[in-house]
Amino acid sequence: MRERDRELRRQRQRRQKRLKKRAQEALAEAMKGGSKAKKPAEKKKTAAKKAPAKAKAKKPEAEAAPAAPEEATPATTEEE
């Protein structure tokens, strides 16, 4: 039981150390004026907001592909 408690304590200390280090890096980045540090929940929200925009962005690319050969045809007639 003592060994298990000791192991759990070590894991908790490692986790706390890792979180503290990550928080310090985020604070340093924010102080530097770089990208704003976001909470994980905010990251998920922005990703969810961007997902429909990404889907919309893919559709015009698919529509633009058939249009490209049509644009190439007038260019060849102008060269003649």
Q: pLDDT tens digit string along 41-70? A: 666 666 667 666 666 666 555 555 555 555
Q: Would you state the pLDDT for residue 15?
A: 98
Query: What's the whole-number average pLDDT of the chain?
Result: 73
CA distances from 34 to 12, 19, 29, 38 (A): 31, 20, 6, 12
What global pTM score does this model have?
0.36
pLDDT tens profile 23-33: 999 999 888 87
Other Cβ atoms less than 10 A from the Cβ of 37: the count is 15
**How far apart are alpha carbons 59 and 65 in whole angstroms?**
10
Q: Where would I find the H helices in 1-80?
A: 2-32, 40-79
Q: Would you state the pLDDT for residue 29?
A: 87
CA torsion sign for 68, 72, 74, 78 is positive
